[in-house]
Structure 1
Amino acid sequence: MDRDSIGNIGRSKDMESKRFAVPRAEDMRALGAAVAARMHGGEVILLSGPLGAGKTTFAQGFGAGLEIDEPIVSPTFTIARELSGVFADGRPARLIHVDAYRLGGVDYAPGQDSVDRLLDELESLGLDEELEDVDEHAVVLMEWGEQMAAALADERLDIVLERPLGRPDAAHDATPTSDGVRYATLTGVGARWEGFLDGFEPR
């Protein structure tokens, strides 16, 4: 996997980013495993990107990095799945894998803003406390996490995946394609993530 030329994007003392080129599915899995290897418990990771960008592939690598034996699939129909694994230091790990795609719907009281809707759904699912104060033996990995950012704790790792666009024609704008290199931008938000990306190079 090659580092993209963007490199470090340090915007503040408690926020830093790195962008990586991810040419193959095995590279996306390797990225997920490399992130998992640095988990200690108590982390929240928001994973976002369009359909086909590699979110589930990243999650599979993340699960492998935590030595999870069960298959990692999109939890769309259950919204959240809990899986058991092991941290790099040998301690038991609990992965809470969430799909936020269907959270924050429209069946709420008139005038209720999107953050309140999301918080209500999280509370109804029992996930609000998990996200606010993650257990020291747990890691939350939330797909489609960009819509949750405003409702979550201040400290998180944002991972944004980009897929290439096809060539536009006269009638249509460029559309996503399965061909080409994907990119992953990792941004650590909050003091917990300070230094997390120092020397981070996925294998």
Structure 2
Amino acid sequence: MQDNAITLEAPNEEAMRNIGERLAGIVRGGDVLLLSGPLGAGKTTLAQGFGAGLGIGEPIVSPTFTIARELDGVFPGGGHAHMIHVDAYRLGGSDYAPGQDGIDRLLDELESLGLDEELEDPGENTVVLMEWGEQMAAALAPERLEIHIDRPAQLVQNTDEPTSEGTRIVTLVPVGSDWAQRAATLAGK
């Protein structure tokens, strides 16, 4: 992780939603946030808190099968907020275009969905929250907040399945000086 990374703990779903709400308090139009972590880590739970922090009344659900959802809310300062919630999990598969590199495949798929311009240059009222977007981070957003969520390693008794219980470790990696200053406010720095 980078030197300016900020680590937060979320011992339960309420705390994860609270981190999302706090993130919504520091965003502004044009921001890109990339969420990563294993299945069940809490990405959608954080997104729910983020949506609540923007005053979005619609339910925030994982956009895995729709790829992207567009929702409207209000920035903390009162201006209109347009949130694009993207799930890039199924984008850029290896069978998409043989011989083409992964970033080019992802960009082609985003273009076919009409999302490439929104992600490369979000409008002044648009915030992009992308789950599973770490593989295209550098190609899309030179200024961004990367949010990595790790879940507990302990296993449920008598199974090999990871537990949904336990503290999550949320690491914020600001990329760009503006993000570094804003993200530091979440850690009280």
* TM-score normalized with structure 1 length: 0.86
Match of 1:44 in 2: 32
Query: Equivalents in 2 of 1:195, 1:10: separation in Å?
Result: 14
Q: CA deviation at 1:194?
A: 3.0
Query: Equivalents in 2 of 1:130, 1:60: separation in Å?
Result: 21
Match of 1:177 in 2: 163
AA matched with 2:179: W
Match of 1:121 in 2: 109
Match of 1:199 in 2: 185
Give the aligned CA root-mean-square deviation in angstroms: 2.0
1:77 maps onto 2:65 in alignment: yes
Do 2:32 and 2:127's aligned partners in 1 also have CA atoms closer than 8 Å?
yes
Q: Share of identical aligned residues, percent?
A: 62
AA matched with 2:185: G
CA gap 1:176/1:148 in 2 versus in 1, 3 angstroms: farther
AA matched with 1:74: S
- Which of 110, 119, 130 is the matching residue for 2:98? 110
Query: Equivalents in 1 of 2:108, 2:131: separation in Å?
Result: 18
- Which of 21, 36, 50 is the matching residue for 1:62? 50
Query: Equivalents in 1 of 2:156, 2:124: separation in Å?
Result: 48
1:134 maps onto 2:122 in alignment: yes
Do 1:166 and 1:175's aligned partners in 2 also have CA atoms closer than 8 Å?
no
1:163 maps onto 2:136 in alignment: no
- Which of 85, 94, 115 is the matching residue for 1:97? 85
Q: CA deviation at 1:128?
A: 1.1
Note the residue ranges of structure 2 that are not aligned, 5 or more in a row.
none
Aligned residue pairs total 187
Query: Equivalents in 2 of 1:102, 1:18: separation in Å?
Result: 29
Match of 1:153 in 2: 141
> Secondary structure at 1:197's aligned position in 2?
helix
CA gap 1:167/1:40 in 2 versus in 1, 3 angstroms: closer
Query: Equivalents in 2 of 1:166, 1:81: separation in Å?
Result: 33
Q: CA deviation at 1:78?
A: 0.9
1:67-110: per-residue Cα shift (whole Å, max 9, x none)? 00000001111100100000001001000000100000133333
Query: Equivalents in 2 of 1:79, 1:20: separation in Å?
Result: 28
Do 1:118 and 1:151's aligned partners in 2 also have CA atoms closer than 8 Å?
no
Bigger Cα displacement from structure 2, 186-195 vs 116-125: 186-195
> Secondary structure at 1:94's aligned position in 2?
strand
Q: CA deviation at 1:142?
A: 0.4
